Amino acid sequence: MAADRQQQRMAPDPWNIGFGVVTLAAALLALFVWFPLDIKGGFIQTNLTGNLEPGDAFFPILLAATLAALSLVQILAAILTRQTSSALEPEEAGQLSFRNLKFLICFFTILVAGLTVMFWFGPLVTATLGAFGMIDQSYRQLVDTVPYKYLGFLVGGFAMTTALVWWTEGRLRPRAVYTVVAVLAACILIFDILLDNILLPPNADI
């Protein structure tokens, strides 16, 4: 009996595997069935001026492909990582608890705070500079001007991501900070410099 319980603990978690399989199937269905039938534009297209720009299928394909890749990682991690113990009592497993609610509250608080900073930091900085007579333009006029267009994305993105890392790991190591900075820089390089017709968030909504 003890051997059977130990063997059960060492088995891969079927819920993690099932979640990965369902998400992978949905992503592949979107990539090979839904998008080809529903999206008329291509992945990359040429605009009226002869420049290449993302087509209608660009971001949906990127999102679905990312979900497919993450699903494969989820499945492999569930298979290779085996449970050695259970932190929950049998009667608590599969039930919502105050810990779950506290987790959701903390997560959404950090998320909303980060997005708020991302949306308002740029306009507040430009409004302050304008009040002191240092600039004579509003943020709406500067949404595609360096460095103003990067203010909200960098400060809000950095604050939100590092706060999530700090919260989940209980500390903030230098490697995590360097990783966050590298990801933000890569996003700017890809979505603002290489794809010059895309506005970084939240500039497109202002």
Each of the 206 residues of the chain gets a pLDDT tens digit; together they read 444 444 445 567 777 888 889 999 999 999 999 888 888 777 877 777 777 777 778 888 888 899 999 999 989 988 887 655 444 444 455 566 788 788 889 999 999 999 999 999 999 999 999 999 999 998 888 888 889 999 999 999 999 999 999 998 889 999 999 999 999 999 898 878 877 666 777 776 65
* Domain identity same for 130 and 77: no
* Domain identity same for 201 and 110: yes
Question: Does 4 reside within a domain?
Answer: yes
* Domain identity same for 205 and 108: yes
Host domain of residue 142: 97-206
Question: Does 168 reside within a domain?
Answer: yes
Question: Does 67 reside within a domain?
Answer: yes
* Domain identity same for 198 and 137: yes
CB 200: neighbour CB atoms within 10 A? 20
pLDDT at 39: 80
pLDDT at 83: 54
Look up tokens 């190591």; give the residue. Answer: 173
Last residue in a domain, options 17, 49, 84: 84
For 34, 69, 139, the CA distances from 127, given in Å and listed in that order, are 45, 42, 8
* Domain identity same for 109 and 200: yes
* Domain identity same for 80 and 101: no
User: How many domains is the chain partitioned into structurally?
Assistant: 2
* Domain identity same for 105 and 182: yes
Region for 94 from its dihedrals, namely left if φ exceeds 0, alpha if ψ lies in -120 to 50, beta otherwise: left
Question: Does 92 reside within a domain?
Answer: no
The values of phi and psi at residue 54, to 5°, are -60, 135
Q: Report the predicted TM-score, pTM, of the whole model to 2 decimal places.
A: 0.63
* Domain identity same for 189 and 101: yes
* Domain identity same for 78 and 101: no
Question: Does 89 reside within a domain?
Answer: no
